[in-house]
């Protein structure tokens, strides 16, 4: 049955499920080929040894997972998607730029998943043309996206088990071939280590705009909030570290080989089975990205038409439009994927960090989790207004703090690399936005 709820608040009578079930969702979502590909960046792009790459991945995910899980706990408290809740900080109109950036970002993630998944399908079935493989991945993702939230719960646990077995088998094969000793060799400097650490932090923060979309159905009980935090935190961090660790191992052993080919070479006759297991997981992850991008799109439209709270049919139609956009983007990017993916991660760093600082401070410090949810849907923004100048100013200060130090594929700040030899822009953005919001909110809000 197609899920009928979209961006409206979930009534208490319709709440169900257990917080611990979210562990499987976020563990399985991260046990995919795209996460493995991200793990290869440490040895290939930043020239870290396997040991240092894994250490940076672990540290970064442990830190970034805190932000992700704090957002997750907002779902049971309010019962609405994350981007609707952002109106409580930025106002009904002020939140529009954030929502728009999130939509674009997650369509980019869906397209990235399609490209990586299609490469895996083509590896398993070489006779299938790559563009047909992209279409196949799109269809596999669209079906669970249309059915909705319940299907994620049904399939996450078994897919997580299958993906874990595939990753463990591949990792054991790698250790068997190279031995233990070479894996503990250290090469690389602190600058390279910090870059991989930052990448891992941002990997977790990237879930912040939609992690509460999957927890909003849980009962609004104080005990649920803490359980939701730990379920999402442990699932997301564990899945990310295992998959990225495999990527680091593959890249350390075969730096000139793509991840899918490296898995096939490492696992021999069972290579196709391992690749296929991770491909199915990436289809479910794509479905979740598409599902949450659709809710964000509905949120954007509802800003213009405040009385419109659509049901299942409208969600299916918007999901189809999202699918088509991601499909065309994937077909266009298939020849230059890594460059696009690196740029997408750079954009994440630039736009999400100031937002997450403001959102979490407002929820946990200023409002203590208490909001008038009905006012989120009012044309005038209710008590939160159309534009929250304090939040937008704080966001602007966060961006202003990071831009001079930002060093990404498409932009080089004039202070980048001058004081320290690595990118500290996201840390400055986090501090600048948080400090400004603390000062201004205390004075004006």
Residue 334 has pLDDT above 70, yes or no: no
Count CB neighbours of 307 within 10 A.
8
Single out the residue of 122, 147, 154 nearest to residue 137, CA to CA. 122
Q: Decide: 290 and 326 in contact? Cβ < 8 Å.
A: yes
Range with the poorest average pLDDT among 180-194, 253-267, 330-344, 397-411? 330-344
Please give the Cα distance from 261 to 236 (Å, whole number). Answer: 26
Count CB neighbours of 396 within 10 A.
14
Please measure the distance between the N-terminal and C-terminal CA atoms of the chain and give it in whole angstroms. 44
Q: What is the pLDDT at residue 26?
A: 93
Q: How confident is the model at residue 351 (pLDDT cuts 50, 70, 90)?
A: confident
Tell me, what DSSP letter sits at residue 11? P
Cα-flanking dihedrals φ and ψ of residue 407, to 5°? Answer: -135, 90
Tokens of 395: 């966001």
Q: How confident is the model at residue 345 (pLDDT cuts 50, 70, 90)?
A: low
- Mean per-residue pLDDT of the chain: 87
Q: How confident is the model at residue 438 (pLDDT cuts 50, 70, 90)?
A: very high
Q: What is the pLDDT at residue 427?
A: 87
Q: What is the pLDDT at residue 335?
A: 61
In this predicted model, what pLDDT tens digit does every residue of 37-64 receive, in sequence order? 889 988 988 889 999 999 999 999 999 9
Q: How confident is the model at residue 89 (pLDDT cuts 50, 70, 90)?
A: very high
Q: What is the pLDDT at residue 187?
A: 74
Q: Which residue has the tokens 């083509």?
A: 122
Angle at 336 between CA 331 and CA 338, to 5 degrees: 115
Residue 36 has pLDDT above 70, yes or no: yes
If 0-12 CB within 10 Å is exposed, 13-18 middle and 19+ buried, where does residue 383 land?
Answer: exposed
Q: What is the pLDDT at residue 182?
A: 67
Count CB neighbours of 314 within 10 A.
15
Angle formed by the axes of helices 271-304 and 312-333, to 10°? 120
Q: What is the pLDDT at residue 426?
A: 84
CATH of span 25-349: 1.10.4160.10
In this predicted model, what pLDDT tens digit does every residue of 223-251 receive, in sequence order? 889 999 999 999 999 999 999 999 999 99
Higher pLDDT, 163 or 417: 163
Residues written for the chain: 445
Q: What is the pLDDT at residue 282?
A: 86
Please give the Cα distance from 374 to 80 (Å, whole number). Answer: 11
Please give the Cα distance from 138 to 324 (Å, whole number). Answer: 9
In this predicted model, what pLDDT tens digit does every residue of 359-413 receive, in sequence order? 999 999 999 889 999 999 988 889 999 999 999 999 999 999 988 887 766 677 7
pTM for the complete prediction? 0.90
Q: What is the pLDDT at residue 336?
A: 63
Q: What is the pLDDT at residue 338?
A: 56
Q: Which residue has the tokens 């917080």?
A: 19
Q: Which residue has the tokens 């989120």?
A: 376
Tokens of 267: 């696992």
Q: Decide: 71 and 204 in contact? Cβ < 8 Å.
A: no
Range with the poorest average pLDDT among 94-98, 203-207, 407-411? 407-411
Mean pLDDT of 325-343: 71
Boundaries of every domain in the chain: 25-349
Range with the poorest average pLDDT among 64-73, 140-149, 303-312? 303-312
Single out the residue of 354, 356, 353, 349 nearest to residue 393, CA to CA. 354
SS (H, E, C) 148-197: CHHHHHHHHHHHHHHHHHHHHHHHHHHHHHHCCHHHHCCCCCHHHHHHHH
Q: How confident is the model at residue 197 (pLDDT cuts 50, 70, 90)?
A: very high
In this predicted model, what pLDDT tens digit does every residue of 127-185 receive, in sequence order? 888 788 888 999 999 988 888 888 888 888 898 899 899 999 998 888 887 777 667 77
Angle at 12 between CA 10 and CA 14, to 5 degrees: 65
Please give the Cα distance from 180 to 163 (Å, whole number). Answer: 23
């Amino acid at each position: 049955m197609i899920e009928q709820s979209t961006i409206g608040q979930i009534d208490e009578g319709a709440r169900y499920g257990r917080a611990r079930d979210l562990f499987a969702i976020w563990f399985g979502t991260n046990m995919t080929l795209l996460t493995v590909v991200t793990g290869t960046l440490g040895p290939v792009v930043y020239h870290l040894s396997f040991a240092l790459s894994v250490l940076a991945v672990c540290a970064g995910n442990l830190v970034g997972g805190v932000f992700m899980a704090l957002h997750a706990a907002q779902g049971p408290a309010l019962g609405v998607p994350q981007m609707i809740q952002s109106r409580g900080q930025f106002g009904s109109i002020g939140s529009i730029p954030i929502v728009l950036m999130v939509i674009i970002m997650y369509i980019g993630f869906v397209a990235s998943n399609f490209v990586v998944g299609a490469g895996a399908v083509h590896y398993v079935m070489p006779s299938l043309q790559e563009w047909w493989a992209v279409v196949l991945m799109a269809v596999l993702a669209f079906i669970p996206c249309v059915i909705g939230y319940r299907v994620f719960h049904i399939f996450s646990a078994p897919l997580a088990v299958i993906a874990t077995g595939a990753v463990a088998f591949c990792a054991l094969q790698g250790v068997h071939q190279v031995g233990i000793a070479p894996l503990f060799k250290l090469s690389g400097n602190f600058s390279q280590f910090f870059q991989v650490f930052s990448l891992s932090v941002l990997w977790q923060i990237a879930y912040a705009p939609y992690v509460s979309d999957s927890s909003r159905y849980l009962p609004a009980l104080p005990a649920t909030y803490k359980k939701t935090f730990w379920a999402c935190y442990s699932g997301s961090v564990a899945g990310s570290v295992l998959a990225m660790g495999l990527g680091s191992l593959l890249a350390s052993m075969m730096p000139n080989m793509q991840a899918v080919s490296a898995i096939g070479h490492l696992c021999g006759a069972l290579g196709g089975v391992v690749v296929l297991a991770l491909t199915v997981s990436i289809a479910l992850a794509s479905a979740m990205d598409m599902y949450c991008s659709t809710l964000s799109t509905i949120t954007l439209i509802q800003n213009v038409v405040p009385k419109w709270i659509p049901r299942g049919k409208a969600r299916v139609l918007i999901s189809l439009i999202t699918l088509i956009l991601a499909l065309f983007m994937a077909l266009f990017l298939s020849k230059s994927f890594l460059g696009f993916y690196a740029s997408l991660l750079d954009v994440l760093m630039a736009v999400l960090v100031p937002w997450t600082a403001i959102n979490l401070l407002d929820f946990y410090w200023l409002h203590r989790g208490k909001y008038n949810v009905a006012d989120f849907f009012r044309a005038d923004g209710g008590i939160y207004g159309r534009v929250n100048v304090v939040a937008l100013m704080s966001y602007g200060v966060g961006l202003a703090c990071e831009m001079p130090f930002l060093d990404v594929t498409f932009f080089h700040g004039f202070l980048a690399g001058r004081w320290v030899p690595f990118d500290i822009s996201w840390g400055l953005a986090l501090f600048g936005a948080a400090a400004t919001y603390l000062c201004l909110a205390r004075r004006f809000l």
